Amino acid sequence: MNAKAQKAKGCGIEPAYYDAVTQAIRSEAVKVLKEGAVSAVIGYLPGRRKSAAVPAVVTTEEEAGRLIFSPACVNNLSLYLTKAKKGILPGGKIGIVAKGCDLRALAGLMGESQIKRDDLFIIGINCAGVQGAVAAGNGQLTEASIAKKCRECTAHTPEGVDFVAGTLPHLDGLTPLEAEELARIEAMPQAERWAYWKEQFSRCIRCMACRQVCPFCYCEQCLCDKNRPQAVESSPRPAGNTAWHIVRAMHLAGRCAGCAECERSCPMDIPLNLLNRRMAQELKELYDYEASMAPQEKGPLNQYKEDDDQSFIK
């Protein structure tokens, strides 16, 4: 294989980039643990499989020295700071490794008063991208394996963090896939679009991975788990599946940070992030709101302004 072909295969991102980010994370994590600045660091450890990484809460310098950043570091770790994972963290300030997309979730959670900036030491990553589905192989990022969200990333460089790990390499522009797909679906006649989503939701097995992996699905009582009375059918059938996915998308409108973890986690490959993006588009048009790395005190759907658009009230 010639050098040019190799570069194309690897998306132009050299493994040395990930090694450098890994080294930077390790030394900073070890330092803040040693100084006692944090009681734990939430980061990634290598999995048994070459193409896998696992989220981890490390509390010792030794463990911190094993932290990694690789294309397999897909998880949005902000989830581990939420109520959904309460009780797993020691008290005191917590260090957390965050990609740009994860930072938006951290900002959103701050805006919803779920976490406080002062309680965190954020190790931001100059992020070149991560893989989509975890696949077998050597773990190297290719144009075929890079996550769809990374193809259209606008958050490569972290903002408002305590430490920045790595230097962003030159990134070859990748064509957007998700935006095109969204436009294709948007252009469908309504009946066809409805048929498209019915087909997608028909595959849902109600494993709830999309809910459990979402940093914003921290409700202690989910409407969809209620059975007295039952609000959404819990059996995996078309009616309940459709209701669940619409409830999910609506409840995340104006809150979703766009990390696309729901879609990545779906074992049935339902393109859930298309719904999130559609909602985000709506929020942008109606309220000029978009998820950002800076915490905003109140999301647009959590407040009322007299000049809010009311044209939908008929």
Partner 1 sequence: MPQIITEANLRSLIDSLVKESKLVVGPKEAGSMVLYQPLSNGADLKLGALPRRSSKELFFPICEDILTFGKEDGVTKVKDVDRASFPDAVLIGALPCDAGSPSILDAVFSWDYNDDFYLERRKKSTIVGIACTSCDDACFCTAVGYAPDSPAGSDLFLTPLKDGSYACNAVTEKGEKLVSAHGSLFKEGAAADAAPLAAPDTAKLDLAKIKEWLNTHFEDPLWQSIADVCLGCGACAFICPACHCFDINDEGTPDHGTRRKHWDACGFGKFTNHASGHNPRDIQNKRYRNRIMHKFKYYDDKFGKTLCTGCGRCIRACPVGIDIGDILNKINVQAG
Binding site for partner 1 (CB under 8 A): 47-57, 72, 75, 79-80, 84, 87-88, 134, 136, 203, 205-209, 211-213, 225, 227, 230, 233-237, 261, 264-265, 267-269
Distance CA 42, CA 63 (A): 11
Report, in Å, the least distance between residue 275 CB and partner 1: 17
Q: In residues, how long is the chain? A: 314
CB 95 within 8 A of CB 39: no
Report, in Å, the least distance between residue 135 CB and partner 1: 8
Among positive and negative, which fits the CA dihedral 250, 274, 14, 71?
positive
Amino acid in the structure at residue 126: N
Amino acid in the structure at residue 195: A
- CA angle in degrees (0–180, nearest 5) for 95-21-128: 105
Report, in Å, the least distance between residue 213 CB and partner 1: 5
Task: Give 2 or 138: the residue with its C-beta nearer to partner 1.
Answer: 138
CB 84 within 8 A of CB 49: no
Report, in Å, the least distance between residue 239 CB and partner 1: 9
Give bridge partners of residue 96 from the DSSP assignment.
42, 122
Give bridge partners of residue 95 from the DSSP assignment.
41, 121
Report, in Å, the least distance between residue 310 CB and partner 1: 35
Q: Coil, helix or strand for 97? A: strand
Task: Give 28 or 63: the residue with its C-beta nearer to partner 1.
Answer: 63
Report, in Å, the least distance between residue 301 CB and partner 1: 26
Task: Give 28 or 261: the residue with its C-beta nearer to partner 1.
Answer: 261
Interacting residues of 151 by C-beta distance below 8 A, sequence separation 6+ = 174, 175, 176, 177, 178
The residue whose two tokens read 């773990």 is 139
Phi, psi of 192 (to 5 degrees): -70, -40
Task: Give 171 or 209: the residue with its C-beta nearer to partner 1.
Answer: 209
- CB-count burial class (<10 Å; 0-12, 13-18, 19+) for 9: middle
Task: Give 167 or 227: the residue with its C-beta nearer to partner 1.
Answer: 227
Report, in Å, the least distance between residue 300 CB and partner 1: 28
* Other Cβ atoms within 10 Å of 239 Cβ, number: 11
Report, in Å, the least distance between residue 210 CB and partner 1: 8
Task: Give 17 or 80: the residue with its C-beta nearer to partner 1.
Answer: 80
Phi, psi of 248 (to 5 degrees): -60, -50
